[in-house]
Structure formats: C-alpha cells, structure tokens
Amino acid sequence: MTKDFTFTIKSICLDENYHPAANTRITTNFANLARGSYRQANLRNALKMIDNRFNALAQWDNPKADRYSVELEIISVDMDIAGSGNSFPSIEILKTNIVDHHTNKRIEGIVGNNFSSYVRDYDFSVLLQEHNKDQPKFSIPDNFGELHGKLFKYFLSSDSYKKHFKKPPVICLSVSDNKTYHRTENQHPALGVEYQPNEPSLTEQYFKKMGLQVRYFMPPNSVAPLAFYFVGDLLNDYTHLELISTISTMETFQKIYRPEIYNANATAGKSYQPNLKNLDHSLTQIVYDREERSKLANEQGKFAEQHFIKPYQTVLEQWSANYA
C-alpha cells in the first residue's frame, strides 16, 4: 500500500516579485502579504525585517550588521494518490538560504519554518468543529490527526524528501494563548531562554503524531517565546546560522500576524501567558488581512474534504491501517 503515494516537490523564490500560484493556500502568511495594492511593498519590507533581525542575532564578525541576507524558497509538495495521476497539494513549507556577503558564499539554511497543510485545515476547521457542534463539552475525535501525521512521516522518509533536503525540518509557530509558559534556567546562544508550558496544547499533540517534538525558546531581544517543532536534537543538529535563519524569518511573520504577542511593548516574564487582546503593542508597516485568513481556513478545509478525504476515503483508510 505504501507504493500508492508519490511526491513531487517544486520550489519558487519568495522575493518582492513573488505572485502566489493558483494552487497556493492563500491563508499562508507569505501569500496573504503578496496580494493587493501593497503587495510589493509588503514583501520588500518583510524581507528587510528578516535580514535586519538575522544580522542582529549573528553579530559576531559583523560590525556593521550587514554581513548576511536571507533568501527564501517556497517549497510546494504535491502528492499523487493511488497511482491515479491526479495530484493533491499536500503541504507547503519554506526553506531558508543564507548569503554571506563577506565571503560571497551561499549557505543552506533550514527547511520547514512555516507549515501549511490542506489536511490540517480539514482536521481543525471541518472535522473538529463538526465533532463539537452542539456538544456541551469540547472533545477530540478518535484518531484525530493520525492520517495527517502518517502522511507527513511518510513524506519525510520518502526518496523525494531525502533527494532535496539534507536535514529534517524545523517548524516554528506561535505559542498558544490559552497556556502559561514558565522560564527555565536553560539558555542557548541563538535560540535564547527556554520556556516550558504548564500543559500540552492541542497543536503539540497534533504535531507529535507527525513525529515532531517541541521546545519553546525566547531568542535574544525577543519579547515572547516561539514554538520550535523538530525531529532529533534541535540544539545540536543545526548550526547557529541555520537556527538564526528560522528565528529571523518566523519571528518577522509573527510580528506581522500576531503583533499583540510578538510586537508587544513588554517582554515576557518568568511566568507568561500570551494575550491576543493585548493593546500594548506596536504595528508593523505591513498590511495583513487576519480576518480573511480565518475565513479562508474553513474554505480550504472543505476543499480538502471535497477533493481528498471523500474521494479517496477507502484508499486512505486502508493505507493508514497498514502504515506503521
């Protein structure tokens, strides 16, 4: 059964001239920025923020804070289902590359960073909502996230992934606003101070089924911790420059998308609970439509149901039952 799925990986440069492809999930952070009359200014300003943040963190042998720039690739993964020749847009992630202007070298960064998935949209925006509709108490459906988790692990073990990427992915997300995070004594030169949550979040449980662990770090001169999802050893499997490329990229997106948390005017303390209603924050000069993003997540979940879950339900159930 495992031979029924093959992956095709495509990449496109994310620069100020980027235009979202027709099959791109338009809720994706960078796709949202790349539309409308402010498209080019949005992208130019966001990319400049990423470069500035990278140089601020990679300050050694960098007296003018201009040594590095970050190049981004949008990685789109299509899955051919059951040898049908029909492909479904499986996931979309980002890959960072670092340009060292002192040595004129291009250094490979980290793949992952942002994470977009139609099947995840289905799980959270369709399946989970329908399961809890008119129910007195919130609960999680049986086997919630198992298919998505198995598909993701299968992709990481595929020849397609190994051919294109040297290391496992690192996905960087926002912290949950309904958890409390406590500062520890552990500190990393690039990742910063480690925090630990009071309890696992639903996202944590979901990503665990994808084979990913999570640790929470607040990088130097940040105001809130970020969630880093990874395989293996986050602190030792990646270089400082690789980690900084992820921090600078994803912290920039979070400042734009969740300024109440990541562009707040006060820094997280020893005990920290994120607050999306925090008024004491600053806005970037980048236009981002958060309301539209939320609405589109539901639409894209229904798209996955219509074009993936229902048409291939039998194949998917059989494959999932046989995939360890």
Q: What percent of the chain has pLDDT over 70?
A: 90
Residue bearing the bigger pLDDT, 301 or 23: 301
Task: Flag whether pLDDT at 26 surpasses 60.
Answer: no
Residues 98-119: what's their mean pLDDT? 95
Task: Flag whether pLDDT at 173 surpasses 90.
Answer: yes
Give the model's pLDDT for residue 87: 84
CB 265 within 8 A of CB 282: yes
Locate tokens 């990423």: which residue? 50
Give the model's pLDDT for residue 122: 93
Query: How far apart, in Å, are the Cα atoms of 302 and each of 77, 99, 131, 297, 309?
Result: 19, 40, 15, 9, 10
At 27, is the pLDDT very low, low, confident or very high (cuts 50, 70, 90)? very low
Task: Give the chain's mean pLDDT.
Answer: 90
Residues 296-320: what's their mean pLDDT? 88
Query: How far apart, in Å, are the Cα atoms of 114 and each of 4, 36, 74, 138, 284?
Result: 27, 22, 9, 28, 19
Task: Flag whether pLDDT at 36 surpasses 90.
Answer: no
CA–CA separation, 70 vs 55, rounded Å? 10
Task: Flag whether pLDDT at 18 surpasses 90.
Answer: no
Residue bearing the bigger pLDDT, 180 or 87: 180
At 109, is the pLDDT very low, low, confident or very high (cuts 50, 70, 90)? very high
Give the model's pLDDT for residue 290: 65
Give the model's pLDDT for residue 42: 85
Q: What are 175-225's pLDDT values in tens digits? A: 999 999 999 999 999 999 999 999 999 999 999 999 999 999 999 999 999
* pTM for this predicted structure: 0.93
Q: How far is CA 144 from the centre of its chain?
A: 20
CA–CA separation, 8 vs 16, rounded Å? 26
Locate tokens 């129910």: which residue? 135
Which is nearest to 182 in space by CA: 200, 172, 194? Answer: 194
Residues 252-281: what's their mean pLDDT? 95
Residue bearing the bigger pLDDT, 135 or 297: 135
Name the residue type at position 91. I
CA–CA separation, 87 vs 77, rounded Å? 10
Instruction: Compute and round to an integer the Cα radius of gyration of the chain.
Output: 20
